[in-house]
Structure 1
Amino acid sequence: MSTTREHEHPGRVDGTLMAVDHPDLRGKVAVVTGAGKGMGARFSAALARRGVNVVGADIDTTLMSESATAVGLEHSDVEGAGVVVGAPVDVRDRDAQQKLAETAVREFGKVDLWINNAGIFPEAAATDIPVSQVQATLSINVEGVLYGAQAAASVMAPGGSIVNMASVAALRVRRGRAAYCSSKAAVAHLTECLAVEFGDLGIRVNAIAPGFVDTEMTRWVQDDPQALEAALGNIPLHRLGSPEEIVGPMLFLLSDSARYVTGTVLSVDGGSRHV
């Protein structure tokens, strides 16, 4: 399927809202970390549009406040839309994540859904990775997921759903991203571990492993014609994904449509993990 934007910039697709809907999500309460921008903001908006009340959390409180306001304006004419309330969180801080869960319960009375989205994307040759990068990457990308899941489990009733953000980088090597790839591989396996233990609580835990998606994080590829050509050559569908194409699988994993799905790492990568 071609779009005007594809012709303007080969490999990109438009961000048209997907028709997918999950009526069972309406009236539920979600927490989304790293919701000030990027995919976290997209997840919050998509959930609110479908009647979910969201506590969006970010370490940048100003950015989070602006994002929550923007979602409110965007959905002002959507009947039955949920609201997004901004909250501060440093995902490296276990106590802060617990406070976030308590904030959601105080605001909306419960927590049904939790998306561990916050993360960083550092770069360095393997021979040059500094200690500070290793510590920051593991603490945010891995510990942040664990602490978020623990906080979610402490307030969720059976039937709750947690989704973590892994990456295709968990499944294949990306030069210059050893710390990042390792952290996302840890997230993938941590998801499986949590699914086994949280199953005793009636809580499902899954992860999404996106490939190259048209976001700020991949701008460096899109702005370099040679890098873009190389990237597209390693994607069987020969294009970047759109943020909306991550939203759809996320909604599925959160919803009752996936109520017998847990411990799964769902690749949404145009097939690039196979190349």
Structure 2
Amino acid sequence: MSNTEATGPGRVLHQPMTAHYPEMAGKVAVITGAARGMGARFAAGLATRGVHVVAGDLDDAAMTATADELSAALAAESVADEPGRIVPSTLDVTRAEDHVALARRAIDEFGRIDFWVNNAGIFPFAEVPDVTPEQIRATLSVNVEGVLFGAQAAAARMRPGSAIVNMASVSAVRVRRGRAAYCSSKAAVAHLTESLAVELGDQGIRVNSIAPGYIDTEMTRWIQDDAPALEKALAAVPLHRIGSPEEVFGVLLFLLSDSARYVTGHSLAVDGGSRHV
């Protein structure tokens, strides 16, 4: 998809965000699940604005390749600030010790952690009678425990004024057939975000979450390739289009910036209004 507006049903706006927060240059972010998709977009967008990024993913080879690709693109671009470095690292979000190691990597490389983005997640499908013990355990382990372990590792090393952003979903408040494990895990993330905000507020750390709806990623590719499914999906979106990763990144950028310095404990929907339908 190009950076121009696509036409027809489900069009997606991929224009780059022009928002710029100069106070973010030189700061350090940790992002989980950063080898592809939304996590890779977050890493690229922050590094473009001068933020150093420690990017973690279970797929070590993919994470290294993505970091190399993004770094090469940054070196070739003309950006306002000196671009940040992107440092790849291996991470299994279900292991608390891996989060601690990721945090130590950030401290060793850059001496600080200002932002932590708990982005890693899985999106399983099964009708309720078919949800297995293994599926629900894996989903809660990755999507919920991964957020808690990340927040714990971050908070132990963050200064007042730092920020944590978790990835929830509009599915936290809207049921989707076949997604019982996923929806319940994201509802837990939204509520965990509130608990973290209350407790970590004592340290001056803000905690918020982002709740995307239909976004142009691999997770929604099947909808865009199925005309009846796309028509049904768009009927439940007041803006009548699919969102882009760039539009999710814009919200992340705001939540990490000083413009949101008195915002904590919120789950900010990026869903074209679908949660209201």
d(CA) in 2 for partners of 1:84 and 1:247?
Answer: 17
1:250 matched residue in structure 2? 252
Between the aligned partners of 2:210 and 2:180, the Cα distance in structure 1 is 19
**Is the CA contact 2:4–2:14 (under 8 Å) kept in the aligned structure 1?**
no
CA distance in 2: counterparts of 1:220 and 1:55, whole angstroms: 31
Q: CA–CA distance in 2 between the matches of 1:219 and 1:96?
A: 31
Q: Distance in 2 between matches of 1:4 and 1:194?
A: 39
Contact 1:11 1:240 in 2 (8 A): yes
The residue that corresponds to 2:44 in the other structure is 45
- In the TM superposition, 1:30-69 aligns within 5 A as 30-69=29-68
- Structure 2 residue corresponding to 1:97, chosen from 81, 99, 119: 99
Alpha-carbon distance, 1:15 to partner: 1.7
| Pairing of 1:192-203 with structure 2 (within 5 A) | 192-203=194-205
Kindly provide the CA deviation profile for residues 140-185 of structure 1, in whole angstroms up to 9, marking residues without a partner as x: 0000000000000011011110000000000110010000000000
Distance across 1 between alignment mates of 2:13 and 2:197: 34
For the Cα contact (< 8 Å) 1:12–1:242, is it kept in 2?
no
> How many percent identity over aligned positions?
61
**What secondary structure sits across from 1:87 in the alignment?**
strand
Which of 160, 172, 196 is matched with 2:162 structurally?
160
Deviates more, 1:65-74 or 1:31-40: 65-74
Equivalent position SS for 1:207: strand
CA distance in 2, matches of 1:70, 1:257: 30
The alignment's C-alpha RMSD in Å is: 1.0
CA distance, structure 2, for counterparts of residue 267 and residue 15 of structure 1:
18
Number of residue pairs the alignment of both structures matches? 272
| Amino acid in structure 1 at the alignment position of 2:6 | E
User: What corresponds to 1:13 in structure 2?
Assistant: 12
Q: Give, in whole Å, the separation in 2 of the partners of 1:254 and 1:89.
A: 22
SS in 1 for 2:156: helix
Counterparts in 2 of 1:48-127, with a 5 A limit? Answer: 48-76=47-75, 77=77, 78=79, 79-127=81-129
Cα displacement (A) at 1:205:
0.3
CA contact (8 A) 2:170 2:275 kept: yes
d(CA) in 1 for partners of 2:18, 2:221:
27
1:215 aligned partner:
217
Question: How far off is 1:16 after superposition?
Answer: 1.7
Structure 1 unaligned spans of 5+: none
Q: CA deviation at 1:251?
A: 0.3
Shift of 1:13: 1.4
Which residue identity does 1:71 align to in structure 2? L
Alignment partner of 2:208 out of 202, 206, 218 = 206
3-state SS of paired residue (1:214)? coil
Contact 2:127–2:178 under 8 Å retained in 1: yes
Aligned partner (choices 146, 149, 152) of residue 151 of structure 2: 149
Deviation of the 1:4 alpha carbon: 6.0
SS of 1:27's partner is coil
- The 8 Å contact of residues 224 and 230 in structure 2, kept in 1 or not, is answered as yes
Instruction: Say whether the 8 Å CA contact 1:12–1:214 is kept in structure 2.
Output: no
Do 1:25 and 1:50's aligned partners in 2 also have CA atoms closer than 8 Å?
yes
